[in-house]
Amino acid sequence: MHDLLKSYKETKKALKRMQSEMKDSVDAIRVVRLEEAKRKTGREKAVCNGDENKTERQIIGEMVGDTEFVIEWLETGRRPGNKRGIERRAAYEREKLMDPVRMQTFVSRSTAGSPCNLTDWQRFQLADALSCLTDRERECYVLTHGEGFSFEDTARLLQITKSSVQTLVTRAQSKISERVTNSLFFVG
pLDDT digits (tens, 9 = 90+) for 11-69: 999 989 988 888 777 766 766 666 766 666 666 554 555 556 678 888 888 999 999 98
Share of the chain above pLDDT 90, in %: 12
Measured from the Cβ of residue 30, the count of other Cβ atoms closer than 10 Å reads 14
| Eight-class DSSP state of 132 | T
| pLDDT (0 to 100) of residue 112 | 47
SS3 52: coil
User: Within 13 Å and on the Cβ side, how many CA atoms surround 83?
Assistant: 2
| Eight-class DSSP state of 159 | T
Give the pLDDT mean for 125-142.
86
| pLDDT (0 to 100) of residue 99 | 60
CA 174 to chain centre: 25
| pLDDT (0 to 100) of residue 125 | 78
SS3 118: coil
Helices (H), 95-183: 100-108, 120-130, 135-141, 151-158, 162-182
The dihedral sign for the CA sequence 133, 96, 88, 168: negative
Query: Does residue 149 register a pLDDT over 50?
Result: yes
User: What confidence tens digit (pLDDT) does each residue in 69-85 have?
Assistant: 888 888 877 777 766 66
Q: Nearest CA to 160 among 134, 188, 139?
A: 139
What is this structure's pTM? 0.42
Instruction: Pick 154 or 120 by higher pLDDT.
Output: 154
| pLDDT (0 to 100) of residue 176 | 82
Residue pair 137/168 in contact (Cβ under 8 Å)? The answer is: yes
